[in-house]
Structure 1
Amino acid sequence: MGGGETVIFREKFEDRMRRIRMAGRAVLGQALPDDAPWYVLCVQTGREQETGEAVRDCGAEVLVPMRKGKQRKRRGRILPAVDEVLMVGYVLVRTAGTAEAMSGLMSFERVVGVLGGWERPFPVSAGRVQDLIGKASGGRYDWDRECSITVRAGELVRISEGLFGGNDAVVITPNGQGKGDVVVEVEMFGQKTPVILPLAMLEKL
């Protein structure tokens, strides 16, 4: 090109956002105190462990709580229960609660959001997370654990523990077996969100 012209290459918006988010991964491994809060990643169902490993590889502290799943029968034989993800669609991450860190978390392929929004992410206290992990490892949330309540569709219940503890919810799928899971709808951050929870996390109102 002649005439001393200056050529300006404009970066596409999508490429710019990807660059910013990838740069945010650098802060995910920042050292934090033991009482620092955790944040909740919303991820594609079935991709919890895969996503957790990818985030962990960047230096962040990650938890994907597990529990014993449902016993199954095959050809008349009872198969032993296998471990499965407790919080379907969620991964716990302890990292700085900054916009830069949240942007870094959003750069992972299977992440669809951050609970509360990346600008004001919802912090979960270290004590609440420790309580959740302790109860999960102790078998409280195992699928076949007997509970003292049953619930009907449309019934209002209270979530007594876990990440959503303290919130009221509406039962979407009934459970009259006294064990297993329930789909409830909980209102948080101005919107109603369906969540799969163990029956053991609910109490009658």
Structure 2
Amino acid sequence: MQHKALTGLPIGIARDTDQDRRERLKRLRGCCDSGVHMRWFAARVASGREQAVENQLTDIGIEALVPMRKGPDLRRRHRVIPGVMMPVIHGYVLVHMPVDGVVLAGLRCLDHFISLVGGYERPMAITAQEVKRFKDLAEAGVYDWEKPTGKVFRRGDRVKLFDGPFTGFDGEVVSCRSDGKGDVVVSLEVFGRETHVTVPLAICEKL
């Protein structure tokens, strides 16, 4: 299966000016006291910058969450170096914001922000219960890299995700380890668009 991705901005669409960024940031700051209906959404960000985005949002008063897990242990000269903490799902930050496309579009002013899953007008909402479950399981170590899952997938297998922002989505395994630990790369169709996500084996079930 081929995966095609476009980078950059389409010709004819101007980049945000400094004034645009200031206006978007103003909308984000204002949404905290808007009193409108709030939901959780998944924001796609640059991999490795998840906590930086979380910190930016927290600094302006917006609730954000990056569930963390213990990464792979390193073995050096018969010594085991405990793994460092890493995001459960690379490249995504959960944000608690109003159901308002104009306000949500304000996320574009953040450094390292790429897109909102589902777009600004019809974003993919996540229930508070799903977010709490995801956070609690991460804190309990269920998604830790070294934790055996007893699951082994092969490229081309169909799987369904049952935890995290993509709960209920099914897709095709692109790559996977053979030891029952760590991550699996799954190709999902999210609102008509092919999306590759790297998730723990623990949240996948074979169809």
Indicate whether the TM-score tops 0.5. yes
Determine the structure 1 residue equivalent to 2:29.
26
Question: Which segment drifts farther, 194-203 or 103-112?
Answer: 103-112
Determine the structure 1 residue equivalent to 2:40.
38
**C-alpha distance after superposition, 1:96-133 (max 9, x if no partner):** 12123212211112101111112221111000000000
**C-alpha distance after superposition, 1:147-198 (max 9, x if no partner):** 1220001111111222112111100003211111000001111111000010
Point out where structure 1 has 5 or more consecutive residues left out of the alignment. 1-11
**C-alpha distance after superposition, 1:41-86 (max 9, x if no partner):** 1111111001110111111011111001111112321001221111
Could you tell me whether the CA contact under 8 Å between 2:102 and 2:120 is conserved in 1? no
More strand per residue: 1 or 2?
2
Listed as ranges, the matches of 1:46-85 within 5 Å are 46-85=48-87
Normalising by structure 2, we get a TM-score of 0.86
C-alpha distance in 1, partners of 2:147/2:35? Answer: 35
Determine the structure 1 residue equivalent to 2:127.
125
C-alpha distance in 2, partners of 1:75/1:159? Answer: 37
C-alpha distance in 2, partners of 1:162/1:13? Answer: 32
Identity of aligned residues (%): 36
* Greater Rg over alpha carbons, structure: 1
Normalising by structure 1, we get a TM-score of 0.87
Point out where structure 2 has 5 or more consecutive residues left out of the alignment. 1-13
Cα distance, 1:142 vs structure 2: 0.4
Aligned length, in residue pairs: 193
C-alpha distance in 1, partners of 2:180/2:66? Answer: 25
Q: CA RMSD in A?
A: 2.0
Listed as ranges, the matches of 1:6-17 within 5 Å are 14-15=16-17, 17=20
Q: Secondary structure at the match of 2:86?
A: strand
Determine the structure 1 residue equivalent to 2:4.
none
C-alpha distance in 1, partners of 2:16/2:205? Answer: 45
